[in-house]
Every structure is written in structure tokens, then in C-alpha cells.
Amino acid sequence: MTSHAQGVIQVFDSLLTALNATGIPFEAYGWDHSPAAPYGVVSIEGQGDIVAGDDQIIHQALRGSIDLYVGSPDLTWMTTVQSSINGLVAWRLNSVQHEEDTNLIHYEWIFEMEEP
């Protein structure tokens, strides 16, 4: 594995560790069977911003999402997650919605992380 790929894995693992330190269980890329709420999912979904020159990518960011599922709307959950990721990745709260099929509140953050 290249040192570049190891760096990406290290940043992603740090993010997952910080989220799990909140006491809310988070899993990378989804759960086989969803646990009781609250729980979350974190995933890298694609390329973010890039810097290019001389027909090559010089620097790029990776974009992903953090999804939190809770039983009732409570800003404590939202601020807990946001506090845990501050300083690790650039992020924005993308949406808060009610999932009709599970009756859960779904918070979604979009993040970008620099490739080391």
C-alpha cells in the first residue's frame, strides 16, 4: 500500500474514532443490521476540490458524509457530533429529515478531508 493511501486511511480512521468517542456507535459504510438509535454511518463518497497543473492532479480533497439517526429531534446529538469533528475535517450540516420508514430523525453532514 502506498504512503498516500495509508495517509487517507489514517485520516478516515481518526474521524471514525472521534465519532465513536461520542458514545454514539458509528460504522464505516453502513451496518449489517442497524442498532438501536442513536447510531451513525460515515463514508467517503468521492472527490472534493482539486488543484491541477501540467495535466495532472497536484492535490485533491475527498468528500464524504456522516449520517446520524436518532429517535427524536434533540440538538444535543447534533452538537455532540459537530464538536467531535471540528478540527478534523471541513464540514457542513446538509440536512435534517424525518425518515418515514424507520420513524427516525436523520442528520446528514457533508465533509471534505485533505489527502495527506
Q: Where residue 51 sits, what CATH number does that domain have?
A: 3.30.2000.30
* Backbone conformation region of residue 94, classed left if phi is above 0, alpha if psi is from -120 to 50, else beta: alpha
Residues of the chain with pLDDT under 70: 1-8, 46-53, 56-60, 115-116
Query: Looking at the 3D structure of the chain, how many domains does it have?
Result: 1
Strand order in the sheet with 56-70: 26-28, 39-53, 56-70, 104-114, 90-99
pLDDT, mean over the chain: 84
pTM score, whole prediction: 0.83
78-104 residue pLDDT tens: 999 999 999 888 899 999 999 999 999
Domain that holds residue 40: 3-114
